[in-house]
Amino acid sequence: MKSNKNINFGLYLVTDRDVLNGRDLISSLADAIKGGVSVVQLREKHTASRDFYDIALAVRELTARYDIPLIINDRLDIAQAIGADGVHLGQSDLPAQVAREILGKNQLVGVSTATVEEAVQAESDGADYIGVGALFKTGTKSNTRQVTPELLKEIKGSVEIPVVAIGGINHSNVEELDGTSVDGIAVVSAILGKEDIKQAAKSLHAKFQDIN
């Protein structure tokens, strides 16, 4: 398990098997990691617990092989059961403070935020990093709140912990985050929805490096 002080959040991949169009999740993630993905968040919103557990075990084996962190979306129990590096929580999920008490200080707790107040609260509650968005229109998640690049910059300046931008980020709009000083970008379709996953990750990573 990695120390949460040494995490590279640069290219943060959130899974969504629907955008893979039947392609294998594990081999797709391997290609993404080879292309530069530095963190994987496993998100399975509509999967039964046993299936989620089995998938998470397989993904855990892969991420361990490449020595990158695996974050589990929402499900603290799954994160603990498979020895994940941490959990990512939304505003309607288990409170970050409670997750921190359960997980202890060595595992990662990430929180989705869309306002300065939520960001400051997440940091106060013990979050290791925050996800901020949605920056752009996204097809992989409904009921998102809009965050402008200007607000993203303001949120980044309000906390000391790493900030990861999320929501509809792709190869054609990532440059709009120039000047925000974010620590990483979280994407789904911009990598997993592409025919050549490794190349998509590689080029997006390069674009983010150019503005960072």
Task: Tell the burial category of 159 from Cβ atoms under 10 Å away from its Cβ (0-12, 13-18, 19+).
Answer: buried
Point out the residues that are catalytic: 43, 112, 141
Q: Which has the closest alpha carbon to 163: 96, 114, 201, 203?
A: 114
Give domain status of residue 2, yes or no. Answer: no
* CA 170 to each of CA 92, 111, 147, 176: distance values in angstroms, whole numbers, following the listed order: 26, 22, 16, 10
Give domain status of residue 4, yes or no. Answer: no
Whole-number pLDDT of residue 135 = 96
CA–centroid distance for 129 within its chain: 10
Q: Which residues are annotated as a binding site?
A: 41-45, 73-74, 93, 112, 138-141, 168, 188-189
Domain count, the chain: 1
Q: Which has the closest alpha carbon to 130: 144, 142, 119?
A: 119
Residues spanned by the domain of 188: 11-211
Residue 2 has pLDDT above 90, yes or no: no
Instruction: Tell me the sheet residues that pair with 185.
Output: 11, 165
* CA 152 to each of CA 25, 32, 41, 75: distance values in angstroms, whole numbers, following the listed order: 31, 26, 21, 27
Indicate which CATH number applies to the domain containing 98. Answer: 3.20.20.70
Contacts of 18 (CB under 8 A, 6+ apart): 140
CA–centroid distance for 80 within its chain: 18
Give domain status of residue 5, yes or no. Answer: no
CA–centroid distance for 10 within its chain: 10
User: Residues of the chain with pLDDT > 90: what percent?
Assistant: 92
Give domain status of residue 194, yes or no. Answer: yes
Q: Which residues are annotated as a binding site for Mg(2+)?
A: 74, 93
Residue type for position 55: I
Q: pLDDT digit string (tens) for 62-100?
A: 999 999 999 999 999 999 999 999 999 999 999 999 999
Q: Which residue has the tokens 């968040």?
A: 41
Q: What is the DSSP string of 100-153?
A: HHHH-SSSEEEEEE-SHHHHHHHHHTT-SEEEE---S--SS-SSPPP--HHHHH
Q: What is the pTM of this model?
A: 0.96
Q: pLDDT digit string (tens) for 171-189?
A: 999 999 999 999 999 999 9
Contacts of 192 (CB under 8 A, 6+ apart): 13, 15, 16, 19, 20, 28, 32
Whole-number pLDDT of residue 3 = 42
Give domain status of residue 56, yes or no. Answer: yes
Give domain status of residue 3, yes or no. Answer: no
For the chain, what is the mean pLDDT? 95
- State the Cα angle at 126 between 123 and 131, rounded to 5°: 50
Contacts of 130 (CB under 8 A, 6+ apart): 110, 111, 112, 113, 118, 119, 122, 123, 155, 159, 161, 162, 163, 164
